[in-house]
Amino acid sequence: MKKYILLAIVGLLLMSCFEDKGNYSYTVGEQITVSGVEKEYLRYFMNDRLVVRPEVCSTDPDARFEYLWTISAQGRLGDTLTLDKVLDTLVNWEPNQNYTLVLAVTNMNSGYTVYQEAELIVGTPYSRGWYVLKDDGQQTDIDLYSEQGKLSNILFAVNGQNLKGKAQKLSFIASHQVFDEEQNKYTAQKTLFALTDRDLLGIDISRAGINRTYENIFYEVPEHPRPQMMFETMMCSYFLNDGKVYSIFNMSDNSGKFGLPANIGKLKEIFRQGIRDVEQWGGEEPDFIREWKSRLRRMYWEAIVATYNVMRYEHWQRPRTLLRAIGRMPFRDTAFFKTSEGRVWIYNYLLAQEEEGRFRFTLSDYLLKKAKCIPNRSIGEEYLLRELSRRVDNRELLCLSETLECCAPWIKSRKGKILFQEICSKAGEQIKNDTLNGEGCAFIFEDQDGVKVSSETFRGKYIYLDIWATWCGPCKQEMPYMQKLEQQYRGEKIVFVSLSMDRWTEKEKWKLYLAEHRIQGVTLIAPEGFKSSFIRKYGVTGIPRFMLIGPDGKMMAHNCWRPSDPRTELLLKKLLSAKN
């Protein structure tokens, strides 16, 4: 018996080692290539045809192809467009949306299928381009510049009416709720708001039709129509009219209408009542109550910060009640204050503290004093390190060594100390390798009369140089502060020079801006803009940029503080008093 078992095992082993010389045929898989389909198509609603002529090749010489074109929007099932090879159809899908086109090509001989995708952007003549708000002194309209050319007077051409008053601002709200009578419900529309000093209109940019007026955008229409600004944040939309802030909560269903104006005392009571309502509705749902109480508190502070931010942007007097409210901002949520929105809150909180005169500072301890104003030590340290890192990255070397030395003892966390050492090391290298500060600095540019002005003209005086342009929003924000300094130090041994980066072909626009805003001081323009040798020498790639040149013609700071920075005035006082 054992002999038979042994023979069987040997037989199996021999079979397993046997070389299979069978006649098998192996072929490489078929390859189908599709060309002639672009990655993206932009077509206009009810105006364009979408025509795609694909080229299809296969390694199978006898291939018989079938085609299937489908289209789908995000979150929807695809619809069949055609079974033909060539897609030729009128673009009649909902505008201002992105769609996915799919071409399926199948070889009927092998059953092998390949898929080719493309993105279709359905627009309208009004959905892409640059909108320009214009007026003739009495009425306002909108022009649109796009790749297709210029569309003039859109409001009147499409709707048969203009806006009363002088042009103020254009504001875009990506998702504004408007009642759709055909669907009998509120729908979100991409809305462009045109504001004048006496009126307001909202237009649906898919068709340029009016969807909002001053009379139907409020629950209670304010008596005086004086629109000033409209903008949105993650949680709310805000509308500034006649110096008062109105808001819409975007985190839940709404009618697209603005409520009562924000009053600090009333606003606080409204949100307190909201918290009481949540506690009542929440019942036995602690997570629900906790989440909505947190949201309501966040909304309250967002409204406070937005009000302060807008009033500061427009250079309006801020009431003390608003400054005090900002000063009571809670700093418990450490994670939130590390977000971009949280940093905006910190920025405005510290500005309010500065306005209230909550701290005094020197040139070297300014950032440290601001960080100490933040009640939460870890948030304050994180703010300080971020600002120091930003200064080093921007090569703001003025008083940098003294500032770092002043801040060193206040950094306590282990992670903070490591980061601080990295900042100090990088700053040391920059200071060591800096060859621009301290060397001779000269420029020659033209003024508005075409006269060439040289920096040598101002030898013996400090030069505070502002590099700006009429198309630069942040530059224009600094201009009132620049003018204030110019008036304050008029007659002193300092001259304030504004150097424009506007295109040479648009110098008339620059001259007009100077005249309309009564810009004082020395006003020059660089014919070559950012390509001029002076600008390239100091690595100016973004504006506004400020420089300080000494009485001896040598560069003192090629990246100086802005006019709005309180250190600038302190620095100028120190320099001028030392010379006197």
Provide the CB-side half-sphere exposure for 293 (13 A, CA): 15
Phi-psi group of 310: left, alpha or beta (phi > 0 → left; psi -120 to 50 → alpha; rest → beta)? alpha
Evaluate if residue 106 carries a pLDDT over 70: yes
* Residue type at 550 in one-letter notation: G
- Summarize the confidence of residues 335-361 as an average pLDDT: 84
Nearest Cα to Cα of residue 202 among 228, 230, 234: 230
Cβ atoms 500, 470 nearer than 8 A:
yes
Helix (H) or strand (E) holding 322: helix 320-327
Report the percent of the chain where pLDDT is more than 90: 46
383: which residues sit within 8 A by CB, 6+ positions away? Answer: 346, 370, 371, 374
Element (DSSP H or E) covering residue 144: strand 139-146
Range 460-469 average pLDDT: 94
Return the percent helix, strand and coil in the chain, to nearest 5: 35, 30, 35
The predicted pLDDT at position 6 comes to 39
530-580 residue pLDDT tens:
899 999 998 898 899 999 999 999 999 999 999 999 999 999 999 998 755
User: What does each C-alpha distance from 210 to 16, 162, 167, 190, 216 come to in angstroms?
Assistant: 83, 11, 17, 12, 12
Pick the CATH number of 32-123 from 3.30.2310.20, 2.40.50.140, 2.60.40.10, 3.90.1150.10: 2.60.40.10
Classify 508 as helix, strand or coil: helix
pLDDT value at residue 26: 45
> Which of 159-163, 186-190, 572-576 comes out lowest in average pLDDT?
186-190
pLDDT classification of 267: cutoffs 50, 70, 90: low
Evaluated on CA atoms 513, 515, 519, 523, the torsion sign reads positive
Residues 6+ apart with CB under 8 A from 329: 301, 304, 345, 349
Domains of the chain, residue spans: 32-123, 130-261, 444-579
Element (H, E) at 79: strand 79-82
Q: Provide the pLDDT confidence category of residue 283 given band limits of 50, 70 and 90.
A: low
* Interatomic CA distance for residues 446 and 374, integer angstroms: 46
Question: What Å distances lie between residue 520 and 166, 496, 527, CA to CA?
Answer: 25, 9, 21
* From 63-67, 348-352, 378-382, the region with the lowest mean pLDDT: 348-352
State the CB neighbour count (10 A cutoff) for residue 121. 16
Helix (H) or strand (E) holding 484: helix 473-488
pLDDT averaged over every residue in the chain: 85
- Structure letter (DSSP) for residue 336: G
Q: Compare 31 and 94 and report the one with higher pLDDT.
A: 31
Residue 445 to residues 471, 511, 522, Cα–Cα distance (Å): 20, 15, 11
pLDDT of residue 12: 37
Structure tokens, 551? 């009485």
Burial of 284 (0-12, 13-18, 19+ CB in 10 A): exposed
For residue 19, what pLDDT is reported?
A: 45
The answer to whether the pTM exceeds 0.75 is no
Q: Which helix (H) or strand (E) holds 291?
A: helix 286-313
146 forms beta bridges with 149
- Range 372-381 average pLDDT: 92
Report the 3 state secondary structure along 225-273.
Answer: CCEEEEEECCCEEEEEECCEEEEEECCCCCCCCECCCCCHHHHHHHHHH
DSSP assignment, residue 294?
H
402 contacts 368 by C-beta, under 8 angstroms: no
Q: What is the DSSP string of 43-68?
A: EETTT-EEEE--EEEES-TT--EEEE
Task: Using the structure block, give the residue that is written with the tokens 């944040």.
Answer: 233
Angle at 555 between CA 551 and CA 558, to 5 degrees: 135
Instruction: Name the helix (H) or strand (E) containing 580.
Output: none
Q: Kindly list the distances between the CA atom of residue 13 and the CA atoms of 6, 9, 159, 538, in Å, as whole numbers in the listed order.
A: 11, 6, 91, 83
| pLDDT per position as a tens digit, 177-186 | 998 887 788 8
For tokens 């897609």, the residue is: 87
Flag whether pLDDT at 20 surpasses 70: no
Chain mean position to CA 577: 41
| Residue type, position 342, single letter | G
Homologous superfamily in CATH for domain 130-261 = YVTN repeat-like/Quinoprotein amine dehydrogenase (2.130.10.10)
Class of domain 444-579: alpha beta
User: Is the pLDDT at 75 greater than 80, yes or no?
Assistant: no
Task: Give the whole-number percent of the chain exceeding pLDDT 70.
Answer: 91
Under 8 Å CB-to-CB from 122, ≥6 apart: which residues? Answer: 43, 44, 45, 91, 93, 94, 95, 96, 97, 98, 99
- Cβ count near 561 (within 10 Å): 20
Quick check: 452 and 527 in contact, CB under 8 A?
no
Residues in the chain, total: 580
DSSP state of 440: B
Strand order in the sheet with 113-123: 40-44, 113-123, 97-107, 65-73, 79-82
Kindly tell me if the per-residue pLDDT of 54 is higher than 80: yes
* Mean pLDDT for the stretch of residues 436-444: 83
pLDDT at 18: 39
Note the pLDDT of residue 314.
67
Rounded Cα gap, residues 383 and 380, in angstroms: 5
> Is there a contact between 398 and 560 (Cβ–Cβ < 8 Å)?
yes
Determine the pLDDT at residue 288: 75
Q: pLDDT tens digits for 112-131? A: 999 999 999 888 888 878 89
Which element (helix H / strand E) includes 4? helix 2-16
Residue 286: is the preceding peptide bond cis (ω within 30°)?
no
Residue 84 has pLDDT above 50, yes or no: yes
CA distance from start to end of the chain: 122
State both tokens at 401: 């060594």
Q: Is the pLDDT of residue 324 over 60?
A: yes
The answer to whether 108 and 64 are in contact (CB under 8 A) is yes
Q: For residue 192, what are the β-bridge partners?
A: 172, 203
**Confidence grade of residue 248 (pLDDT, cut at 50, 70, 90):** confident
- Residue 19: φ, ψ to 5°: -80, 120
Q: Which two tokens stand for residue 59?
A: 């390694």
Strand-strand pairing, 452-454 and 462-468: unpaired
pLDDT mean over 52-65: 94
The residue among 264 and 564 whose pLDDT is bigger is 564
The 10s digit of each residue's pLDDT in 476-516 is 889 999 999 999 999 899 999 999 999 888 888 899 889 88
Mean pLDDT, residues 265-284 taken together? 69
Across the range 188-215, mean pLDDT stands at: 92
pLDDT of residue 13: 36
